[in-house]
Amino acid sequence: MSSNKLIKQLNMHSEELYQLWLMKKENDHPESNPEILKEAYHQLCLIIERIDTIHNAMSQDELNEIANHGIKLHIESVQWVEKLQATSIAPDIMKSIILFSAWAGRHHCELDEIEVIVNFLGEYSNFAKGQEELEELAHLSMDIIDACPMSIKQDMDNNNPGRPWRVLLFNNAIIATRSHQDPLMEQAYELIGEYLPNDAPSFFAQALEQMDIIGYPDNVRIIVRRYFELWNNSTQH
């Protein structure tokens, strides 16, 4: 997947934030403001271009550092959106962080902070409507999963149903289901079974109930029923 779309999105949202900041004259933060952020994003885009043009130009540790720096820039963007009450550009920042996190996953980076990414992925998925957009989002979601460190993937704390890893896997499966693409659904459902076996029976039972309520096509129904029977039959033995 080309990084052109990512770079365009980063430049667009940082320019939008900068212009709003100028209009509102919120220049009381000389050490950190949207003008400085805009330049930081520009430098980040130059690095992304270099990485994607010259393969293996950096070590994995360097890539991890760049990826986590990019997430910190996005968190600053979010803070400025809240300060400026710039809700109109919030979807653009959501899309930026999703595209960037997926880029990090494709480069085998490990992201230290996934909660904000997971929250934005879930929220942004509500805006996705067309099948092509949902299919693209499902691929991006899988890339984000690849950016999660093993320490998060091995978190089996069943006392915290809202932990980001669990929410991410559920959102990934829901997005894949809405995409109606068999391979994406099967890949997402296998992750539910691998990492959330205690949740799998109820998840697929609820998914099966949604088939008639929403009116999913036959290929989706067949796959959901297969996983429902697999996990609910397995719990009865």
pLDDT tens, residue by residue, 189-231: 999 999 999 999 999 999 999 998 888 999 999 999 999 999 9
Chosen domain end from 113, 144, 170: 113
Q: Could you tell me if residue 123 is inside a domain?
A: no
**Residues 105 and 138 grouped into a single domain:** no
Residues 109 and 140 in one domain: no
In a domain, 156, yes or no: yes
Residue 125 domain-assigned?
A: no
145 and 220 co-located in one domain:
yes
pLDDT per residue over 145-166, tens digit each? 999 998 888 776 667 778 899 9
Asked if residue 38 belongs to a domain, the reply is yes
Q: Are 106 and 13 contained in the same domain?
A: yes
- One domain, residues 11 and 85: yes
CB neighbourhood size of 52 (10 A): 18
**What integer pLDDT is reported at residue 237 of this predicted model?**
42
* 122 part of a folded domain: no
Q: Which is higher by pLDDT, 27 or 200?
A: 200
Q: How many CB atoms lie within 10 A of CB 14?
A: 26
Question: How many domains, in total, are found in the chain?
Answer: 2
Helix (H, G, I), strand (E, B) or coil at 111: coil
Domain that holds residue 106: 1-113
Kindly state whether residues 154 and 197 are assigned to the same domain. Answer: yes
DSSP code string of 67-116: HHHHHHHHHHHHHHHHHHT-GGGHHHHHHHHHHHHHHHHHTT---S--HH
Cβ–Cβ < 8 Å for 161, 116: no
155, part of any domain: yes
